[in-house]
Amino acid sequence: TKSLRETLQEVIPAKQEQLKKLKTEHAQAVVGEVENIIGGMRGLKAMLWDASVLDPLEGIRFHGLSIPDCQKVLPAAPGGKEIIPESMLWLLLTGQVPTPEQTRELSRELAEKGELPKFIEELVDSFPQTLHPMTQLGMAVAALNHDSSFQAAYEKGMKKSEYWTHTLEDCINLIARLPALAARIYRNVYKPGNPLPAINKDLDLVGNYSNLLGYGDNHSLTEYLRLYIALHGDHEGGNASAHTAHLVGSTLSDPYLSYSAALFALAGPLHGLANQEVLRWQLAMQKELGDNVTPEQIKDYLWKTLKSGQVVPGYGHGVLRNPDPRFIALQQFCDGKPELKSSPIIELVNKTFQVAPDVLKEHGKTKNPYPNVDATSGCVLYHYGLTEFKYYTVIFGVSRGNVDYPDVILSAHIYFDCSLGSFDPAGVGTRYVVAIDVFDIPLNDVVLISALGMPLERPKSLSLDAIEKLVKKD
């Protein structure tokens, strides 16, 4: 069976060819218009992202596969049923479904590379316990670039065609180390003094992560984490963390720095921190309303939140206009387990889902009154006893590393020059890198960026006066 590297060796030349053809045949093609410069670039077609496409109604597809498709075809861990990040990573990087053997081989490689360098352990152990776990993760990931293969090769002088192999090397090493790193942060902040087990070479990435967190005996939670982390791996290129990794990667910063930057974008409450906020909000609702809440009581609580000028966390989305299929997949996971279905916090999430869309429609502001993945993801962790909600975004972060980042690496190596009102692929370079989502941060893109040789991103900005002038001309 072919390894991940061998598979990529075969896949990348075809991608490069596809890009070259696009560049020569359609250099002047206009793919859209800029309608609203002050609207956060919503809908602006301005970047290449090969691994996934987000449809507003249907949700995400990874190389054409929907979430239910992935659940049917992507290999699980031995003894498990849920998708694992390794098989998702393989799909995102290569566009191909790996065999169980290929998935096992990748799991083994990650486990073999999973130990942290001593200086990183010391760095993490020196952080104050009160430093937010996401800050700790981002700082430690940046410091891992001490051993960057890309940076070392660049300093020596390497050919552009070699970028992607070093980028991939860095991505694999980074993903491999995330469980030990993220678990060490958890131990230091919440369970100081607890021993950290060694990495088990026979376990998959999340099997090891769960073990290191101290939940290895809880098969149900481990399976949930596998699904959660695989599903969070990639969500198109324009979301704040993926785009950050892509932008930073386009300067030829190595994957550690690109991913670290992305983690800090993920740390915001409108993005990755939302799962923490949802839990905080649902628990406050539970405390105020007590048990056996009625739909009317939840409606009143929703209005109280909205009237106080706050957003309803876990609802709304920059692109989606339907319930997030990742939310549905996590709901289905809960439906299949009686102890989860009857859990008070999951029941409250379900009851809120029954009434919140109508309240948000009546409120009339959000373009999407439906739940996103964060409406439930943290609440399930809470049910399992992983109650330290400041840590939740770290788990999200771990997911982006696995999958999304390699994509950033790959895409950074493809160049599209977007000027106002037109899309001009002239000058397509080739830096293609892949990215993970902290497990959801676009490492797959980082690989793609380096393989396709994409150029430094540098969109045009305009001052208020310049926009006024432009608009008045029309």
Residues tagged active-site: 271, 317, 374
- Tokens of residue 198, six digits: 């060694």
Pick 139 or 311: Cβ nearer ligand AMX: 311
Q: Which residues are CB-neighbours of 142 under 8 A, at least 6 positions away?
A: 256, 257, 260
367 binding ligand AMX? (CB under 6 A): yes
Residue with tokens 């090891």: 208
Alpha carbon distance 86, 229 (integer Å)? 10
Q: Find the shortest distance in angstroms from Cβ 356 to ligand AMX.
A: 8
Residues in the chain: 474
314 binding ligand AMX? (CB under 6 A): yes
Contact, 248 vs 257, CB < 8 A? yes
365 binding ligand AMX? (CB under 6 A): yes
Contact, 203 vs 111, CB < 8 A? yes
Alpha carbon distance 212, 420 (integer Å)? 49
**Binds ligand AMX by CB under 6 A, chosen from 211, 368, 411, 450:** 368
Q: Find the shortest distance in angstroms from Cβ 324 to ligand AMX.
A: 8
Q: Find the shortest distance in angstroms from Cβ 273 to ligand AMX.
A: 8
Q: Find the shortest distance in angstroms from Cβ 359 to ligand AMX.
A: 9
145 binding ligand AMX? (CB under 6 A): no
131 binding ligand AMX? (CB under 6 A): no
Size of the site for ligand AMX (CB under 6 A): 19
The amino acid sitting at 382 is: Y
Stretch that binds ligand AMX, among 72-80, 110-118, 140-148, 266-274 (CB under 6 A): 266-274
The DSSP secondary-structure symbol of 96 reads S
**Binds ligand AMX by CB under 6 A, chosen from 317, 326, 400, 413:** 317
Which strand (E) or helix (H) includes residue 124? helix 118-126
The amino acid sitting at 211 is: N
Residue with tokens 């694992």: 84
Pick 337 or 363: Cβ nearer ligand AMX: 363
Transcribe 37-66 into DSSP letters.
TTTTTTT-------SEEEETTTEEEETTB-
Which strand (E) or helix (H) includes residue 451? helix 445-452
Q: Find the shortest distance in angstroms from Cβ 274 to ligand AMX.
A: 3
243 binding ligand AMX? (CB under 6 A): no
Stretch that binds ligand AMX, among 14-22, 61-69, 246-254, 267-275 (CB under 6 A): 267-275
Q: Which residue is nearest to ligand AMX (CB)?
A: 316
Compose the 425-464 pattern: x for residues touching ligand AMX by CB under 6 A, - for all others.
----------------------------------------
Alpha carbon distance 173, 365 (integer Å)? 44
Chain residues binding ligand AMX by CB under 6 A are: 270-272, 274, 306, 311-318, 365-368, 372, 374
